[in-house]
Amino acid sequence: MGRFSLRMRAVRAPRVDGRRAALVRLLGRALETHVALPLFALLLVAALWAGTLHMVRQEESAARAAAVEATRELVDTYEAQMARSLSGIDQTLRVLQYAVEMNGPGAALGAMSAKGLLPPSVVFRVAIIGADGRVLAANPAVRRGSDVSHAPWFAVHRERVSHMPFVSETIGRREPHVVFSRRIDDAAGRFAGVASVAVDPAFFTSSYERSRQGERGLLGVAGEDGVVRAVRIGDAVSWGQRIAPDAIDGVALGRDGIDGEVRYTSARALNGFPLVAVVGLSEAEQMAVFAQGRRAWLLGAGAGTALLVLVVSLVSAWSWQLAKAKKRERRAQETYAAASEASPDAFFVLRTVRAPNGALLDFLIETTNGRAEQLTGLPKAAMEGRRMSVLLPAYLGAAIFDDLAAVAGDGVAREAEWLAHLAPAAGRWLQRQVVPVEGGVVTIVRDITERKLAEQRIRHLAHHDELTGLPNRSLLRDRLGQAIREAERKGGSVGLAFIDLDGFKLVNDGLGHNAGDELLKVVGERMAQCLRRSDTLARFGGDEFVILLPDSSSDPLALTPLLEKVRQAVTEPVDVEGQEVQVSCSMGVVLYPRDGLDANTLMMNADAAMYRAKENKNSFQFYASEMNASMEEKLVLLEGMRSALDACNGGPCAGACQFQLLYQPKVDLRSGRLFGVEALIRWNHPEHGQISPLRFIGLAEESGLIVPLGDWVLRTACAQVEAWRAAGLPELAVSVNVSARQFEEKRLVERIAGALRDSGLAPRQLEVEVTESAIMRDLGRAVEKMREIEAMGVALSIDDFGTGYSSLSALKSFPISRLKIDKSFVADLAHCGDDQAIAMAVISLGHKLGLRVIAEGVETEEQRAFLRANDCDEMQGYLYSRPVPPERIAELLAGQAQSAAGAAAMETA
Ligand SMILES: Nc1nc2c(ncn2[C@@H]2O[C@H](COP(=O)(O)O[C@H]3[C@@H](O)[C@H](n4cnc5c(=O)[nH]c(N)nc54)O[C@@H]3COP(=O)(O)O)[C@@H](O)[C@H]2O)c(=O)[nH]1
């Protein structure tokens, strides 16, 4: 039960809370001006109209009461007047009766006149009528004997004995009148005639006062028979209508039968006469003042209502707009609060704290968000409502306060980045955005540490070499520029050394790029250790390094100890992937201002000096102005080579072909038989004489010209060997050197096939010599290509074997037939144990792989003897023959053929 009731409460509570909240919301809404004000205005309008209508009703009652009272007063007055008038008329009738009785009908009027008892004849016409109905006497006089016996009023008296006066209806067209009459009896009581007074009906309504009764008031006399004897409405007097006055002695409101006007009417019976006095006041006229007042009241109330509605509408509309704006602002604040809570940025809404004179003293934290808590390590409650100077005591003198104050001052947003020093954000890069708001500023703080680190990384990458971490070309340029400016200012000197490693290519090509990279790193570190902190060692790419000595001596000799130190550091052996390698370096050195006044000139001259040093290798060379000539010389040489080749290929402006192939014989070491030749190119320059391939093959390789040049060599050699065959000389093979660039060229196989096809040479008579380094540049691709060449039936041999760093395991997979021991190992073969060991190792290795081994550069008998003794298969060298023109080979071949023929003959003999 307990659990049940608890659960019930738990279930109900939210509904009750919900209802209460809805009620509170409703009340809250009702309290909003744009709702409360119209409601209040409605009440006000209702009260205004209730008051107004009440007042109107009061006024109306008063007006109606006044009208009733006025009617009553009027009827009193009129009754009194009529009573007096009727009494006078009746008096006249009685006197007439008496005069007739006393004086007889003929003298009665005279007697009355004599006594001044006749009423004015203008209003009252007095007459005495005999029993036969003939007028006996009248005042004013009428024709004697006029007969009125047919008049109803005469008949009434004749027929009936009554001592009451009779009042006729209003009669007569031309001169309307009401006849008042009394019966005259003789002494015996018989009917003797009638005394009459005819009165103008207007007489009865002459007391009509426009000031009291208005234009449409009513004043009149009616008979008890309901027939109006005289009635006046405004100025119009009429008679004969029928009315039924129902307010005898009272006041009634209604429409009478005379003109349909609604009137307050009152009637009084006139004592002694069968007449009723009637008074009426037009309701419209009586209520006119009230109606006017009512209109004014209603207009006032209407105007008040309209004004109120207008004011309330305006205020409500304004208030509604205000409420909407507030709602929007509230929503925006809610959204802002939600967004700011979800934001990765810290927000601080800061209000300015100012001195009475307006000077900015401080900022007060109004609101902040969760991220701000993390950034400052303070809970929101501890920050909100506190001054910045309390939370950050040092901030008033710091740049951040100046920033906030500036934004609060000029309303222009500002941004800044800084490295935080205070925990918990110490060491982090922060960015602040200060934005002006009403009464303060909003500061948005973002942690940009990651971005800063990335920027630093990018900056470092942009200015440093990725492999060695040394400054790169761009940073070196910057520093060189700076050093030049500094030296210019101080009158000092700057040293610059371009360094190129000798033999690096061999390591890189032979042991692979990883080994090359390792070597570069070690050499870079060693060179850097030789320098001062203020010096810069940069890597320009490949195996090129540059040393910048900003505060250098102007004497080149003073630099030599440092350069020597660097040179020695480089030449120390390096252990690369378990293999000891050794490189050296060639350095070209320049000095500012001696060798150039700007960075470009200095770098160009250092490069030229380095190229000169490269000629000797493992040395340094100071720049001399004539060095630049060699660069130009190179260009001239290249251009000459192009046109020479063009000529050899029968180009349009072809002169004589300046290239020539010499052939160096290759002989079998045991038999001494010439079995092949190596084709070696020569350039017979018209001005410079014969130029060694050592001078131009490198340039051809560098420029790419080696490809067409090599093609020419291939075709010429094939054609030559075929020519020897065609000349009937014994068959021999020709080997052609294929440089690295040639070997990598896509169409090499196609070119070889083309040379064979075009010359008609058998593929077995052609051998392609490739250096170790050319193969090792891209081992996979090289093996693939060698297989294609082998598939054509063309032999392959490895030139200069031992000078590179061939992978011995890879050697097995090479489809080669011959290894050539480099002449550098052969030169000291007779004396140098190392070279002997190498030669023997190469011979042994070659044989183990099933290859023939040839030694080149054999110049002496000792060398030949050693090679022969160590089972070397073949040789070439000056000992047997220098490279010679084809004719000489033909002679040698012919000689050999002759000797062979002689020997055969001797054998046969
Ligand atoms: N890609 C091509 N390279 C070529 C071609 N022709 C020559 N070369 C290469 O040029 C380098 C220099 O050649 P060269 O001056 O012709 O020197 C060769 C021989 O003359 C020289 N040699 C031969 N016997 C001896 C000797 O007893 N003593 C001695 N000091 N030198 C001797 O050796 C050079 C042959 O070397 P190699 O090619 O390694 O067999 C040279 O590297 C040539 O390869 C060409 O057409 N294409």
Question: Is residue 800 within 6 Å of ligand 1 at its C-beta?
Answer: yes
CA 811 – ligand 1 centroid, Å: 23
Q: Quickly state the pLDDT bin for 12 (edges 50, 70, 90).
A: very low
Question: Is residue 664 within 6 Å of ligand 1 at its C-beta?
Answer: yes
Overall average pLDDT of the 177-184 stretch: 91
| Pairing of the two strands 818-821 and 852-855 | parallel
Q: Quickly state the pLDDT bin for 13 (edges 50, 70, 90).
A: very low
CA 815 – ligand 1 centroid, Å: 23
Q: Spell out where 514-608 has E strands.
A: 536-541, 544-552, 574-576, 579-581, 584-592
Give CA–CA dist 205/167, Å, rounded.
16
**Strand order through the sheet with 191-199:** 135-139, 124-130, 191-199, 177-185, 166-171
- Write b or e for each residue in 223-245: b if 16 or more Cβ atoms lie within 10 A of its Cβ, otherwise e: beeeebbbbbbeeebbbeeebeb
Overall average pLDDT of the 258-284 stretch: 89
User: Measured from the CA of 742, which atom of ligand 1 is nearest?
Assistant: 1
Give the pLDDT confidence score for residue 397 in this predicted structure.
67
User: Measured from the CA of 681, which atom of ligand 1 is nearest?
Assistant: 6
Give the pLDDT confidence score for residue 10 in this predicted structure.
36
User: Where is average pLDDT lowest: 23-27, 55-59, 514-518, 797-801?
Assistant: 23-27
Burial of residue 76, with CB atoms counted within 10 A of its CB: 0-12 exposed, 13-18 middle, 19 or more buried: middle
Question: Is residue 823 within 6 Å of ligand 1 at its C-beta?
Answer: yes
Give the pLDDT confidence score for residue 803 in this predicted structure.
63
SS3 for 657?
A: coil
Fill in the DSSP letter of residue 893.
H
**Whose Cα sits closest to atom 38 in ligand 1?**
737
Query: Token pair for residue 91?
Result: 């008096």
Give CA–CA dist 901/909, Å, rounded.
12
Per cent of the chain over pLDDT 90 is: 45
CA 856 – ligand 1 centroid, Å: 9
User: Where is average pLDDT lowest: 373-382, 397-406, 651-660, 671-680?
Assistant: 651-660
For residue range 483-516, list pLDDT tens digits in order: 999 999 999 999 999 999 998 888 887 888 899 9
User: Where is average pLDDT lowest: 354-363, 452-461, 473-482, 605-614?
Assistant: 452-461
Query: Token pair for residue 30?
Result: 């009702």
Overall average pLDDT of the 600-616 stretch: 88
Within a 10 A sphere around the Cβ of 635, how many other Cβ atoms? 11
Question: Is residue 739 within 6 Å of ligand 1 at its C-beta?
Answer: yes
CA 666 – ligand 1 centroid, Å: 13
Evaluate if residue 774 carries a pLDDT over 50.
yes
| Pairing of the two strands 191-199 and 440-447 | unpaired
Structural domains for the chain? 344-452 (3.30.450.20), 464-623 (3.30.70.270), 660-683+704-816+879-908 (3.20.20.450)
Helix (H) or strand (E) holding 435: strand 429-437
- In this prediction, the answer to ipTM > 0.90 reads yes
Evaluate if residue 1 carries a pLDDT over 60.
no
Fill in the DSSP letter of residue 626.
G
Contact 352, 438 (CB under 8 A): no
Please choose from 648, 659, 680 the residue to mutate so as to test ligand 1's pocket, defined by most ligand atoms within 8 A of CB: 680
Q: Which of 478, 479, 472, 493 is nearest to 597 (CA)?
A: 493
Overall average pLDDT of the 219-227 stretch: 90
Q: Quickly state the pLDDT bin for 29 (edges 50, 70, 90).
A: low
Overall average pLDDT of the 601-617 stretch: 88
Phi-psi region of 165 (alpha: psi -120 to 50; beta: other; left: phi over 0): beta
Which residue is it, tokens 């008074």?
279
Please choose from 712, 716, 856, 882 the residue to mutate so as to test ligand 1's pocket, defined by most ligand atoms within 8 A of CB: 856
Contact 563, 499 (CB under 8 A): no
Overall average pLDDT of the 724-736 stretch: 95
Q: Give the residue, 537 or 643, on which the prediction is more confident.
A: 537
| Pairing of the two strands 440-447 and 544-552 | unpaired
Give the pLDDT confidence score for residue 9 in this predicted structure.
36
For residue range 299-338, list pLDDT tens digits in order: 998 998 998 888 888 888 888 888 788 788 778 777 777 7
Contact 661, 679 (CB under 8 A): yes
**Whose Cα sits closest to atom 29 in ligand 1?**
857
Per cent of the chain over pLDDT 70 is: 94
Question: Is residue 713 within 6 Å of ligand 1 at its C-beta?
Answer: yes
Q: Quickly state the pLDDT bin for 3 (edges 50, 70, 90).
A: very low
Overall average pLDDT of the 434-443 stretch: 91
- Write b or e for each residue in 778-809: b if 16 or more Cβ atoms lie within 10 A of its Cβ, otherwise e: ebeebeebbebbbeeebbbbbbbbbbbbbbee
Give CA–CA dist 641/643, Å, rounded.
6
SS3 for 260?
A: coil
SS3 for 187?
A: coil
Evaluate if residue 458 carries a pLDDT over 60.
yes
Evaluate if residue 15 carries a pLDDT over 50.
yes
For residue range 877-888, list pLDDT tens digits in order: 999 999 999 999
Q: Spell out where 131-243 has E strands.
A: 135-139, 166-171, 177-185, 191-199, 218-223, 228-233, 236-238
